[in-house]
C-alpha cells in the first residue's frame, strides 16, 4: 500500500509527487502514455518563470528525474476505475492490475480534441497531425493548414511558416485566444493566410489528405483549400469519465470543484489541470 497514488504523470502529477515525497510520503504514479504529458510536444517553453528557454522534452525529463530522485515509482498503465474503501482506495488499470493507496490524486489532464469529421481517424498520420514540431519537416515547402485560435494553434502556425510554402490559419472566430506576441509575429509572415470565421467541414484526398473544405460561419460559403497537411489545435478534452463515481464532473467532463483540490470523496484529490 502506498500513501498516495497519482493518476497521470504530466507536470501536475509529477509536481504533486515531488511535494508528497519531500513530505515523507510514498508515491506511485500511473501514466497511460508518456511522462511529461502534452508538454513534450512543445519545442521551446519560454514562459516558465526562471527558465528562459527549455524544450518540452527536456522539461518533462527533468521533472521526471527530479521526482524519481526523491523515490517516485511510476508504472505505465491506464487507470480504469477507482474504488473507495474508506481508509484506502483501490485503482484498477486496463491490464486488470490493482494498486492500493491511502489517498489518490487525479492529475489526468486532457487529450487533443478531435474535429469530429468523417475519415479524421484514418487520416491521422496521413496528413492530419496534432504535433507540428514532430511532423512539420514532412511538409517542408508544401502548403499546410492549422485549425484553431489558441496558443497551440498560433505556435504551430509560426513554427510551420519557417518550413512550409504556405500556412493557412483557420479559426472559427475573428478574435484569437492565443498570445498577442505570437499573433503579431504571425501577421508579419508573408506565407501565412488567415482564414477567419471558418470551420473545417470536410477532409479530401485518398489515401493521403490533399485538400480541406472550409465553411464560412457567417456567409455559408464553402471554399476548398489544397493542403498536404492539417494541424489540428482546437483545444483539449478532459479524461475523467472513468472516475465520475468518486469525483463530480461538470457537463464538459472536467472535475467540478473550486480551488481547494477536494473531490466529493474524502481522500481523493485532483491537481488543477483537469478541473473546471
Partner 1 sequence: MSVITATAENFEQEVLRSDVPVLVDFWASWCGPCRMLSPVVEEIAAQADGFKVAKVNVDEESDLAEQYGILSIPCLIVFKDGKEARRSVGVIPADAVLSLVKNA
Task: Give the span between the Cα atoms of 34 and 123, in whole angstroms.
Answer: 23
Closest distance of CB 267 from partner 1, Å: 27
Residue that the C-alpha cell 461538470 belongs to: 250
Helix (H) or strand (E) holding 183: helix 180-187
Which lies closer to partner 1 via its Cβ, residue 41 or residue 240? 41
131 is catalytic: yes
Task: Give the span between the Cα atoms of 35 and 54, in whole angstroms.
Answer: 16
Secondary structure string (H, E, C) spanning 12-42: HHHHHHHHHHHCCCCEEEECCCCCCHHHHHC
Pick the catalytic residue: 131, 164, 198, 274?
A: 131
Is residue 32 at the binding interface for partner 1, with CB under 8 A as the rule? yes
Residue 98: closest CA among 106, 109, 89, 90: 90
Pick the catalytic residue: 3, 84, 87, 135?
A: 135
Is residue 78 at the binding interface for partner 1, with CB under 8 A as the rule? yes
Question: What would the x/- binding string for partner 1 be over residues 46 to 75, using CB under 8 A?
Answer: ---------xxx--x---------------
Which lies closer to partner 1 via its Cβ, residue 41 or residue 161? 41
Report the residue from 16, 27, 41, 167 that binds partner 1 according to the rule CB under 8 A. Answer: 41
Whether the Cβ atoms of residue 2 and residue 102 lie closer than 8 Å to each other: yes
Task: Give the span between the Cα atoms of 99 and 92, in whole angstroms.
Answer: 7
C-beta atoms surrounding 111 within 10 Å: 15
Is residue 222 at the binding interface for partner 1, with CB under 8 A as the rule? no
274 is catalytic: no
Largest CA distance in the chain: 62
134 is catalytic: yes
Pick the catalytic residue: 44, 134, 174, 250?
A: 134
Report CA-CA distances (Å) from 159 to 99, 130, 156, 166, 213. 42, 13, 5, 12, 23
- For partner 1, the binding residues in 106-145 under the rule CB under 8 A are 124-127, 129-131, 133-135, 137-139
Q: How many residues bind partner 1 (CB under 8 A)?
A: 34
Is residue 76 at the binding interface for partner 1, with CB under 8 A as the rule? yes
Which residues form the interface with partner 1 (CB under 8 A)? 32-36, 40-43, 55-57, 60, 76-78, 94-95, 124-127, 129-131, 133-135, 137-139, 207-208, 229
Amino acid at each position: 500500500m502506498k500513501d498516495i497514488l497519482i493518476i497521470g504523470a504530466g507536470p501536475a502529477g509529477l509536481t504533486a509527487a515531488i511535494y508528497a515525497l519531500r513530505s515523507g510520503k510514498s508515491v506511485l504514479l500511473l501514466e497511460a502514455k508518456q511522462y511529461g504529458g502534452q508538454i513534450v510536444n512543445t519545442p521551446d517553453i519560454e514562459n516558465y518563470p526562471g527558465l528562459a528557454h527549455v524544450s518540452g522534452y527536456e522539461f518533462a525529463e527533468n521533472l521526471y528525474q527530479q521526482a524519481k530522485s526523491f523515490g517516485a515509482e511510476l508504472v505505465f498503465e491506464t487507470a480504469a476505475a477507482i474504488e473507495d474503501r474508506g481508509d484506502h482506495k483501490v485503482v484498477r488499470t486496463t491490464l486488470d492490475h490493482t494498486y492500493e493507496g491511502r489517498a489518490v490524486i487525479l492529475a489526468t489532464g486532457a487529450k487533443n480534441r478531435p474535429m469530429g469529421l468523417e475519415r479524421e481517424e484514418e487520416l491521422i498520420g496521413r496528413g492530419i497531425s496534432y504535433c507540428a514540431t514532430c511532423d512539420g519537416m514532412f511538409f517542408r515547402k508544401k502548403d499546410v493548414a492549422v485549425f484553431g485560435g489558441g496558443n497551440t494553434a498560433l505556435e504551430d502556425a509560426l513554427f510551420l511558416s519557417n518550413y512550409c510554402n504556405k500556412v493557412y490559419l483557420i479559426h472559427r472566430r475573428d478574435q484569437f485566444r492565443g498570445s498577442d506576441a505570437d499573433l503579431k509575429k504571425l501577421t508579419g509572415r508573408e506565407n501565412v493566410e488567415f482564414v477567419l470565421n471558418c470551420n473545417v467541414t470536410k477532409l479530401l484526398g485518398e489515401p493521403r489528405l490533399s485538400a480541406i473544405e472550409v465553411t464560412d460561419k457567417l456567409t455559408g460559403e464553402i471554399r476548398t483549400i489544397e493542403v498536404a497537411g492539417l494541424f489540428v489545435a482546437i483545444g483539449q478534452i478532459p479524461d475523467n469519465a472513468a472516475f465520475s463515481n468518486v469525483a463530480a464532473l461538470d457537463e464538459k467532463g472536467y472535475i467540478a470543484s473550486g480551488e481547494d483540490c477536494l473531490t466529493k470523496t474524502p481522500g481523493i484529490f485532483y491537481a488543477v489541470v483537469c478541473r473546471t
